[in-house]
Amino acid sequence: MGGAGLHLAVSPRFHFSTTTCCRRPQDQCLGLTQGTVLKRKPKERGAAAVEMAIVLPLLLVILIGTMEFGRVFNVQNSLTQAARAGARHAAIHHSDATLDVEGTVLAAAPSLSGLAVAVSDNAASCASGADVEVTTSVDLASMTGFLDIGWFGSPGLFPITLTGVGVMRCGG
């Protein structure tokens, strides 16, 4: 059975040939004998390139979507943390004449330094026992620009407005 022209068709993509020698012992557990090699059929040339052309765009969309989601999640957490730090500062120092809530908010989130963060608060009307509320917001553009475009007639995902809110009791 080890003839030079013997070909066994096992799957539509591959065939076994006994024309070259295979010295891997693990092939014997597959029912292959010494000297059989798995080869691609000649008409399957370029199939891997076509498969990659089909799968690669989907993988890139997943990768870009993951990066964009991570960035949005990070900015949202930073906005909320900055608003909380500003509310804490306003609650403790509400009676100070030099109360700078916006400066405290922007200093609390250095990762937001390149973004136009809007800060609003009601610290001027804060009295002991009342609540102070600090709100931070930003219009976040896409990191890649890829998700700015709408697909199939829908609007794009970006720019997206993110808001963080911090509330604390004044003087206590």
Same-domain pairing of 73 and 126: yes
pLDDT score for 164: 96
Residue 31 structural domain: 7-44
**Under a CB-based contact definition with an 8 Å cutoff, are residues 83 and 117 in contact?**
no
pLDDT score for 119: 94
Same-domain pairing of 110 and 56: yes
pLDDT score for 149: 73
Same-domain pairing of 31 and 66: no
What residues have CB less than 8 Å from 161, skipping those under 6 apart? 137, 138, 139, 140
Task: Output the tens digit of pLDDT for each of the chain's 172 residues.
Answer: 454 555 444 445 554 555 545 555 554 455 555 666 666 666 777 888 899 999 999 999 899 989 999 999 999 999 999 999 999 999 998 888 888 999 999 999 999 989 999 999 998 888 888 999 999 999 998 888 777 776 676 777 788 999 999 999 988 6
Q: Which residues of 82-98 are buried (b: 16+ CB within 10 A; e: fewer)?
A: bbbbbbbbbbebbeeee
pLDDT score for 9: 47
What residues have CB less than 8 Å from 126, skipping those under 6 apart? 90, 91, 94, 132, 170, 171
pLDDT score for 54: 94
In a domain, 2, yes or no: no
Beta-strand runs (E) in 10-150: 14-17, 37-40, 118-121, 131-140
pLDDT score for 152: 72
**Under a CB-based contact definition with an 8 Å cutoff, are residues 172 and 129 in contact?**
yes
In a domain, 1, yes or no: no
- Structurally, the chain folds into a number of domains equal to 2
Task: Quote helix, strand, coil % in the chain, to nearest 5.
Answer: 40, 20, 40
The model carries a pTM of: 0.68
